[in-house]
Amino acid sequence: MLTISTQSISEKLSEVLCAATGATLDPLPFVSKERAIHIAFPATKNGQIPSITLLTDSDLNDQSLTQITFSIALKSLDIFPLLLCILVFLRERKTISLELEENILSALHEALLNALIHGNLGQYSDYNNSYKMFDHFAAIGEMLLTNDVKETLKMSIEILPEQIAISITDSGKGFSEDAIVPPGESALHGRGMTIIRECADIVNISDHGSTISMIFTCGPQQAQLFSKLENSHILIVEDVAVNRAIISRILKQRGFKTISIAIDGEEAYEKTLLLKPDLVILDLMLPRMDGYEYCRRIRQNPAFEHLPIVVQTVLSQPEQRSKAFACGASDLVTKPINAYELIARIVLLLEKQSLLNDLREYQDRIQHELSSARSMQHSIMPNQQLIKDLEARYSIKTQSFFQPSSEIGGDLWGIRMISEAECAFYIVDFSGHGITAALNVFRFQAMLQGLMLDMTDPASVLEKLNKKLKEILSIGQFATMFYAVINTLDDTLHYAAAGSTNPAIIKKDKSIEWLDGKGLPLGAANGAEYKNHTTTFTEEDGLLLYSDALIETANTEGGYITTENIESCLKAASHPLAFNKIIAEFKKQNTATDDLTIIMLSR
Amino acid sequence: MEFSIQQTGSTFEVKMRGRFTFAENQKFKTILQQSLHAKPSVVIFDLTEVEFIDSAGLGMLLLVKDEMDAVGAAILLKGASGQVKKMLNVSCFEVLFGMA
């Protein structure tokens, strides 16, 4: 990355040109003619300088100045400072990408080198055609450092809407096309033209090589951003005709195309509603309705809450400033208007507005993507068809409730039909929530499909999953899991747990059996072992599975759902109604900060 | 431009910093002489910290290559990025040099 000091351009130009030419003139001769600056330098120490006008900083900083031409007698081998100086000039006027900056620097460097070598060689008969010898670079270098250098370069830089055109003419004899070396060839000279042609979009060589014109096109993205700003609609509110004309001219010079005028507060208010400008430049002292009142009224309308309003104030009245901000002004400029300051503030506000719009679009897109992800996540959970099949095959009714804390979450549950009499249920809760947890859920689901597992042996299922998850999860990520096999033939429930919540079995007689969810979470430790448990699970029994959000979300009084709460829900009604009661109980809680899954299986 | 040379056995690593342009002609000749004097079998130019190179810089690298080829030594370039990488690509230097 190249860094450039924040020195003013004219200062920098003076410094660089003095160093490059050995000139000691103070002040430096800058000549202004219409919109172009001609910087004339004496080619020799005693050269005559025509009548000159010294350019001030504000002239050089004038954004409307988009073309400079100058003559310069380079006296140093290090032309880089001059390049940086040109880059500052370009940057001040145009948004240029880093890549384009590199291309301009590379091509310009080569073109200047070319002018130095051929231009200077042309002055000395001894060196004619000697550019074929690389070693002569050194000789030229030494020559440049003496005071005998006669060569003058003419350089012109022009900034067009989507292009930058740079042309350099030296006073030498040029070169012939056969001196140019194709890429990949090991010659010690003639590489510069290849670089220029590669870096500039259009290259034109004339006068036998003593003039090189280069055109760089600004990428579509930059042109877009630039034209986006220039297409902004600006409303000028000002009752004095002269001031309106001045502001309008400044804006037009900078390239703003759509400008509207209002001459009093009432008109400004009406035009704002009607035209919906992108920015308003507002005078405070206005007939009919003053600027403060305009600001207050417009800010009351939600559609114009973020409309940039630049207020013009008079320095002698500082109280105007705070009052203007209090009424809703976005920024201030002081009268008399400084063109550079006005443009800088306007561009900043418009850019901010454009970025905010981009941000809103981005948020909308993410929102949209998250809801797609959410429906994807729902699709990997058991669907109604599977639940119906299960009921038909095993006479087991399934109720489920799933609510991610954000759009998507880290909970998963599933069903596996193993044999005529056996089916498996599992509930998984990944650490964390949101996108990371959800991605892990998808990985887990894929893994579960891919692994060869003995689905009838809960402990071995957990052990294999643990081994695999330990390999893929980052440190700190883990999952809790409860895995159970229901056998409808011998009325048993065979299960193993990895740090899950304690599921509950509701017996026919409404007694509750709490199952043991203890065990190392999956993916936390290598070689974790899990224990198989067996209990009875007969007809009309129910099994309640839930993720920890059910018992870990506080209600408004800071209380939690306890096992007693759950028990009383389960005892009070049939399984399906008890399930609804528990969900109702949970919904009394504050907004859950974790994902919640509740499953009820009833035989 | 600044440079430092590190010698490991018969391998020379020349680490360069800053801009490598026409203006560095004299300085570079010094590097060349120092490198050749020690009769290395491999010379590596580390361009990681070179921020800008021009056609003369490329030409100077070729000059070293010619000298190294003449004594049967290998020359490698490494670490080029940004503008420098682009210039090496534009001139098809990967055909002429080994890339470390």
Distance CA A292, CA A602 (A): 70
Q: Do A141 and B65 touch (CB under 8 A)?
A: no
How much is the pLDDT for A553? 72
Q: What percent of chain A has pLDDT over 90?
A: 23
**pLDDT tens-digit profile of A296-346?**
999 999 889 889 999 988 766 778 888 888 888 999 888 878 777 888 888
Flag whether residue A198 sits within 8 Å of chain B, measured between CB atoms: yes
Q: Do B91 and A195 touch (CB under 8 A)?
A: yes
* Residue in A with minimal Cα distance to B66: A186
Contact criterion met (CB below 8 Å) for A282 and A313: no
Confidence band, pLDDT 50/70/90 cuts, at residue A118:
low
Q: Do A113 and B62 touch (CB under 8 A)?
A: no
- Model confidence at A222: pLDDT above 60: no
In angstroms, the separation between the Cα of residue B86 and the nearest Cα of chain A is 9
What are the residues whose beta carbons fall under 8 Å from the beta carbon of A505, sequence distance 6 or more? A493, A512, A513, A515, A535, A537, A541, A542, A543, A544
Confidence band, pLDDT 50/70/90 cuts, at residue B3:
confident
- Computed over every residue of chain A, the mean pLDDT equals 77
The stretch A263-291 carries a mean pLDDT of: 91
Confidence band, pLDDT 50/70/90 cuts, at residue A279:
very high
Residue type (1 letter), A80? F
Q: What percent of chain A has pLDDT over 70?
A: 74
- Following DSSP, what letter does each residue of A158-171 receive, concatenated? EEETTEEEEEEE-S
- Model confidence at A105: pLDDT above 80: yes
**pLDDT tens-digit profile of A567-584?**
888 888 788 888 888 888
In angstroms, the separation between the Cα of residue B55 and the nearest Cα of chain A is 5
**pLDDT tens-digit profile of B49-86?**
998 898 888 888 888 888 888 888 888 999 998 889 88
Q: Which residues of B touch A183 (CB under 8 A)?
A: 90-92
**pLDDT tens-digit profile of A171-187?**
776 666 666 656 556 56
Q: Which residues of A touch B83 (CB under 8 A)?
A: 102, 105-106
Dihedral of CA atoms A496, A498, A499, A505 in degrees, nearest 10, equals: -20
What does pTM read for this prediction?
0.47
Tokens encoding A283? 């005078």
| CA distance from start to end of chain B | 22
Q: Which residues of A touch B55 (CB under 8 A)?
A: 110, 113, 191-192, 194-195
Distance CA A579, CA A585 (A): 10
How much is the pLDDT for A220? 59
Interface of chain B against chain A, CB under 8 Å? 19, 21-23, 25-26, 29, 51-52, 54-56, 58-59, 62-63, 65-66, 82-83, 86-87, 90-93, 95-96
**pLDDT tens-digit profile of A414-470?**
999 999 999 999 999 988 777 888 888 888 988 888 888 888 999 999 999 999 998
| Spatial CA neighbour of A183 closest among B82, B73, B55 | B55
Q: Which of residues 78-107 of A touch B (CB under 8 A)?
A: 78-80, 102, 105-106
Q: Do B83 and A192 touch (CB under 8 A)?
A: no
ipTM of predicted assembly, 2 dp: 0.80
Nearest to B96 among A77, A106, A184 (CB): A184
**pLDDT tens-digit profile of A524-575?**
888 889 999 999 999 889 999 988 888 777 666 667 778 888 888 888 878 8
∠A474-A480-A484 over CA atoms, to 5°?
A: 140
* Residue in A with minimal Cα distance to B63: A188
Nearest to A137 among B25, B82, B83 (CB): B25
Q: Which residues of A touch B29 (CB under 8 A)?
A: 138
The stretch A248-252 carries a mean pLDDT of: 85
- Model confidence at A281: pLDDT above 90: yes
Q: Do A102 and B19 touch (CB under 8 A)?
A: no
Of residues B19 and A57, which shows the higher confidence score?
Answer: B19
The stretch A479-497 carries a mean pLDDT of: 93
The stretch A103-131 carries a mean pLDDT of: 67
Distance CA A544, CA A542 (A): 7
How much is the pLDDT for A64? 66
Distance CA A578, CA A584 (A): 10
Contact criterion met (CB below 8 Å) for A6 and A105: no
CA atoms within 13 A on the CB side of A205: 17
**pLDDT tens-digit profile of A370-429?**
888 888 888 888 988 999 999 999 999 999 988 877 777 888 999 999 999 999 999 999
Q: Which residues of B touch A132 (CB under 8 A)?
A: none
How much is the pLDDT for B27? 78
| CA distance from start to end of chain A | 70
